[in-house]
Amino acid sequence: MTVNGHTNGAAERPKTGIKVIVVGAGFGGLGAAIECHRQGHDVEIYEAFPELKTLGDIISFGPNAGRIFYRWSNGEVVRRMRPLSIDLRKYGFNIHKYDTGEIVINQKTPQYAEDAPNFNGHRGELHEVVFNYARDDLKIPIHLGHKIQTYFEDDKQSGIVLEDGRRVSSTLERKIAADVVIASDGVRSKARKSVLGYEDKPKSSGYAVWRAWFPNKDMLADPETAHFCNNGDTFNGWIGPDMHFLFSTIKNGSDCCWVLTHPDEHDIDESWSFPGKLSEVKQALKEWDPMCTRIISKTPEDMLVDWKLVYRDPLPTWVSPSGRILLLGDSAHPFLPTSAQGATQALEDGVVIAVCLRRGGKENVPTSVRAHEKIRYDRVRQTQKTGESTRDMWHKTNWDEVKKNPEIIQFPRQEWIFDFDAEKNAEEIYDNVVKEILAA
Ligand SMILES: Cc1cc2nc3c(=O)[nH]c(=O)nc-3n(C[C@H](O)[C@H](O)[C@H](O)COP(=O)(O)OP(=O)(O)OC[C@H]3O[C@@H](n4cnc5c(N)ncnc54)[C@H](O)[C@@H]3O)c2cc1C
């Protein structure tokens, strides 16, 4: 297939005849659908939201995601995402001590390969690029306003049951079947119960994040903060006891974004988005470098969000008993923001299930789904743990040690995470993984 003059590589693969339903059009669902399309499957998406909105604020994609995006129409999607993303090649990342404000190290931004770029930008804006690419360029059917509550499966098929009522399109059957359902329905997944057979209880991570995204007008008007916005993009982090404050300016300094991770034991409702109060944020930062409060003060209160970080123990399985419903992305494995890998790992999931389904063929869908889980499980778990280890490393900083060796406080950039090519790896190990599954 050619999109705007670019081929999208594997889309020229022969059709497999495998029908895939994807539930959820977040990055996980869109990525899985695009990859299924590339691998020759017949895929449709069902999504609860009735219309696309640019929701959220900062989101990160590592080069292991960039490698995936780059394959979509030979870099075309990457070219669309680039102007929306932060450019820190000049500025790097200034890490400050929380109270004195001194910069203890400037962490350089690595030069990633052209075909494996990284992106940090507004979640809603980047999401819109990927959504439009799936719907408009690849013509993947995306059915909005369809909230899936119930799933079914037997040995031959699986499917979704659409809710009754106004939201259900009259042109669709109420029960829709496929060879496999990919449930990428986020942290509050309804599919989890179908897969596990019981309600899974999330738990508080013990932390919440105040976060905001806003235009640079008031930052520019203050001579103390203007420099963050009138010289291109910037990234600064203040690290302190049990809290960290990250502040970035994006799109040539025109947009500002900060996140403050702090302890929080409130009851969790798994929404990511509550209104936040500036007075509470200022109170939490009263012992910190006054620059933090100065930045906070430029935030319009209606743009402040209080996001409770939920976590759950690793699920024993992501695959339903008949092997035809798969949990993918946050529905299978929510990440802490300090891993900066949640969305990236959801994308890797989509790549791997699409390859496994193609390699196994229409007659072997359950085995392919189980192979996907076996290929993904340990890597996802190890990557998830980096969210805890980075948070703990920052929140329990020994400043005497940092004085001796400032590099120990840098944001870890592990090669085993970033250099990984999920597609290549799945192609290489698929046969052996299937042999192990069949031998067990
Ligand atoms: C509105 C929103 C804003 C976010 N903002 C940020 C942010 O600012 N920064 C950040 O790092 N992460 C953010 N996230 C989370 C981040 O996008 C994910 O952690 C990551 O991209 C993995 O994506 P996912 O597709 O697995 O899950 P999600 O991105 O949560 O996507 C799940 C999708 O499934 C849909 N869905 C849920 N239940 C049903 C159902 N029953 N039937 C049909 N569809 C259903 C949801 O509407 C959603 O579109 C946000 C997520 C959402 C939904």
pLDDT of residue 166: 37
Residue 102 lies in a domain: no
pLDDT of residue 4: 43
Domain boundary, last residue among 291, 311, 331: 311
User: Of all protein residues, whose CA lies closest to atom 31 belonging to ligand 1?
Assistant: 26
Residue 107 lies in a domain: no
Is the C-beta atom of 55 inside 6 A of ligand 1? yes
Looking at residues 246-253, what average pLDDT do you find?
Answer: 97
Residues 142 and 280 in one domain: no
Domain boundary, last residue among 311, 339, 362: 311
State pLDDT tens for residues 255-282. Answer: 999 999 999 877 655 555 678 899 999 9
Residues 232 and 279 in one domain: yes
State pLDDT tens for residues 51-60. Answer: 998 888 999 9
Domain boundary, last residue among 311, 328, 358: 311
The ligand 1 atom at the shortest distance from the C-alpha of residue 122 is 8
pLDDT of residue 53: 87
Domain that holds residue 77: 2-87+114-201+313-439
Res 140 pLDDT > 60: yes
Q: Which residues are catalytic?
A: 211
Is the C-beta atom of 318 inside 6 A of ligand 1? no
State pLDDT tens for residues 384-406. Answer: 999 889 998 999 999 999 999 99
Residue 260 lies in a domain: yes
Is the C-beta atom of 373 inside 6 A of ligand 1? no
Residues 157 and 14 in one domain: yes
Res 186 pLDDT > 90: yes
Residues 245 and 360 in one domain: no
CATH number at residue 257: 3.30.9.30
CATH number at residue 59: 3.50.50.60
State pLDDT tens for residues 205-238. Answer: 888 999 999 999 999 999 999 999 999 999 999 9
The number of folded domains in the chain is 2
Query: Which residue among 272, 335, 349 has the greatest number of ligand 1 atoms within 8 angstroms of its CB, and so is best to mutate?
Result: 272
The ligand 1 atom at the shortest distance from the C-alpha of residue 49 is 47
What percentage of the chain carries pLDDT values higher than 70?
Answer: 93
Q: What is the 3-state secondary structure (H, E, C) of the chain?
A: CEECCEECHHHHCCCCCCEEEEECCCHHHHHHHHHHHHCCCEEEEECCCCCCCCCCCEEEECHHHHHHHHCCCCCHHHHHHHHHECCCCCCCEEEEECCCCCEEEEECCCCCCCCCCCEEEEHHHHHHHHHHHHHHHCCCCEECCCCEEEEEECCCCEEEEECCCCCCCCCCCCEEEECEEEECCCCCCCHHHHHHCCCCCCEEEEEEEEEEEEECHHHHHCCCCHHHCCCCCEEEEEEECCEEEEEEEECCCCEEEEEEEEECCCCCCCCCCEECCHHHHHHHCCCCCHHHHHHHHCCCHHHEEEEEEEECCCCCCCECCCCCEEECHHHCCCCCHHHCCHHHHHHHHHHHHHHHHHHHCHHHHHHHHHHHHHHHHHHHHHHHHHHHHHHHHHHCCCHHHHHHCHHHHCCCCCHHHHCCCHHHHHHHHHHHHHHHHHHC
Tell me the CA–centroid distance for residue 97 and ligand 1, in Å: 33
pLDDT of residue 2: 45
Query: Which residue among 30, 44, 49, 59 has the greatest number of ligand 1 atoms within 8 angstroms of its CB, and so is best to mutate?
Result: 59
pLDDT band at 175 (very low <50, low <70, confident <90, very high): confident
User: Of all protein residues, whose CA lies closest to atom 5 belonging to ligand 1?
Assistant: 56
The ligand 1 atom at the shortest distance from the C-alpha of residue 27 is 25
Is the C-beta atom of 148 inside 6 A of ligand 1? yes
